[in-house]
Amino acid sequence: MLLLSLAALTAVSVVRAATYDYIVVGSGPGGGPLAANLAKAGYSTLLIEAGGDEGSNPTYADIANFLESANDEASRWDFFVKHSDDPKRDLQYKYNTWDTGDGTFYVGRDPPAGAKLLGIQYPRAAVLGGCAMHNAGVASLAQDDDWNFIANQTGDASWEASKMARYFREIEKNHYRPSTEKEHGFNGWLSTNVGDPSWAKAEDNPGTRMLKRLGELLGQNTTTTSSLLENDILAHTPGKDQISSVYNMAYHIDAIGKRSSPNNYLRATLADPAKYPLTLALRTLVTKVLFSNATVPRAIGVEIMEGASLYTADPKHVPGSKGPVSQVYAAKEVIIAGGVFNSPQILKLSGIGPKAELEKFGIKVVKDLPGVGENMGDNYEASILGSSAQPIPAGLSTAMFRTQNAATKNRNIYAWCGPFSFEGMWPGFPNNYPNQWSCAVAHIGPKSHKGTVKLVSANPQDRPDINLHLFAENGEADVAELSSAISLLRASWLPAAGTSVAPIKELHPCPGEIGKALSCTEEAQREFIKLQVYSHHATSSCAIGADGNPMAVLDSKFRVRGVAGLRVVDGSALPVVPGAFPVVPTMMISQKATEDVLADAKKWV
């Protein structure tokens, strides 16, 4: 266990059986900011991270390198998931990953003889800053209804959308709007910025014409196309969720395009160890939470295993490798923030979860909580991908809109278009195509939350069994909304792009020449979407819920039900998928959780 408290992140000592006020497990968007906040409040805090630190590595620091960071074995944890309980259906997914047995992967539907099916890759980041260090940096807000849902379910008015907006302003350091705007924050730790919109000023540019046409399809005034990109996608304006509009994409990056993440905030906090009592343990795997023998069990610390690449999801893991096991203790609370897959795993290994599952693996039941590892949801993602006769010069543009078949009055699609391809994740992704042009979509408000995270053993080094159970509930409605979005985006391509880049050949979901009769029916388009949809925004596997709800893992203050001194603060706590991208909403709940934790600080002796 490397215990660190300097900005240079050099090892200073190895300390076991130490006691801190708080122990935070996981340094991502939930745990990282919370640990820094607790230290800044004067409480000794141990932050435990299973990975290392890549904050100075340009692969991670420069947002333009995000494809390399997501593929980098320095931080990558490979989870392999199922999309359903139907193996035949899942085998139709184009990018299944197979272990060839010679140290390489095969990706596709025609594996070599003897290859072992691993599943659908779902990489997570074991690194200081968590998945905010390997993502594309997209900054997006939750819908107001997402926050109000929690308030209504729990009766806790502090979750109301009008009150949650404050947490975004507190953490934000905005770089693209006037500092007088009340909708934004300008003194927080999280930098936000937008891409360069100057490309859209060339009205004859095919990409600009496509942007203009999309604006027209969404009912916007397109007199000056570039003005569409002045719309602020991060504004907390009244009724924002009912507005269909084109936007410039926003990112958690600074003024020069450097990634802004919990890594930056933690490094800044660690830079003054005399003032802020934050200790960082890197390359340390938490194996379970320790509890007192009381009528109401209280979390008193964690058991840890020290060493690099100890978890089997790490591609650098050496089978059979282990590290020394020891304990560290918390005088006040233990806070789990391991992410949507690892937080429920840690709880279960600690004796908190469905009784039958725990007993199956010989784990002593501390609290029977059937909702642990259940209720998992995710944004469905799909795309329309084409190849044009000539390159289409353009940057990225974003559209948020409501399809006519949406279940509510709220917009249900977040789309982004540009000269890229994104078809999901697999080892070495993405594919690149000649003169590629794509519009990708993330489905807002998915109606199925049936995903599960289940143990495969009592060994904390084993990655769990993960089944997303896509489309298990209201699947046809979700597929129909995605299909409607694809059809609208297709309509913005030709003839708007013009003859200079024609023909544009659609590669999927309906292969053929854009502008001519579709090569597939609506039913075929929907079937393609259903089989090839992908995702990487899972949430809700340790969900907040109402008193009396047997599937509620947490109360509205992030406290694990039935025990004391234990909380979960990460995306797994959210009972619904927050908007299109959960990273910023998770940072917001980290800020909220700080208040909840500090409000209880004095009750612990």
Q: Which of 588, 602, 600, 601 is nearest to 158 (CA)?
A: 588
Helical ranges in 175-298 per DSSP H: 206-217, 262-270
DSSP state of 13: B
| 239 labelled binding-site residue | no
Coil, strand, or helix at residue 584?
helix
| 569 labelled binding-site residue | no
Taking the alpha carbons at both ends of the chain, their separation in whole angstroms is 27
What is the C-alpha separation between 179 and 92, in angstroms, rounded? Answer: 51
Cβ 280 vs Cβ 13: under 8 Å: no
Rg (CA), the chain: 24
- Can you name the residues that pair with 352 across neighbouring β-strands? 367
Report residue 303 CA to chain centroid gap. Answer: 27
Cβ 470 vs Cβ 529: under 8 Å: no
Can you read off the two tokens belonging to residue 136? 């594309």
Can you read off the two tokens belonging to residue 362? 């010989």
| 127 labelled binding-site residue | yes
Coil, strand, or helix at residue 201?
helix
| 431 labelled binding-site residue | no
DSSP state of 47: E
Cα dist from 498 to 256, 418, 486, whole Å: 34, 16, 20
> Counting Cβ atoms within 10 Å, is residue 274 exposed (0-12), middle (13-18) or buried (19+)?
exposed
What is the C-alpha separation between 109 and 91, in angstroms, rounded? Answer: 7
Q: Which of 377, 581, 379 is nearest to 469 (CA)?
A: 377
Q: Which of 285, 289, 338, 270 is nearest to 29 (CA)?
A: 338
- Can you name the residues that pair with 333 across neighbouring β-strands? 22
Cβ 25 vs Cβ 48: under 8 Å: yes
What is the C-alpha separation between 385 and 510, in angstroms, rounded? Answer: 9
| 137 labelled binding-site residue | yes
Q: Which of 153, 161, 162 is nearest to 555 (CA)?
A: 153
**Entry field: residues in the chain:** 605
| 135 labelled binding-site residue | yes
What is the C-alpha separation between 497 and 504, in angstroms, rounded? Answer: 9
| 286 labelled binding-site residue | yes
E strand or H helix at 93:
none
DSSP state of 218: T
Q: DSSP string covering 502-565, please?
A: --EEEEESS-EETTS--SS-HHHHHHHHHHH-B----B-TT-B--TT-TT--B-TTSBBTTSBS
> Counting Cβ atoms within 10 Å, is residue 89 exposed (0-12), middle (13-18) or buried (19+)?
middle
E strand or H helix at 398:
strand 397-401
Residue that is written with structure tokens 């992140």 in the block: 9
- Can you name the residues that pair with 9 across neighbouring β-strands? none
The beta-strand segments (E) located in 428-496 are: 436-443, 452-454, 465-467
Neighbours of 537 (CB within 10 A): 23
- Binding positions for FAD: 127, 135-138, 286, 571
- Binding positions: 127, 135-138, 286, 571
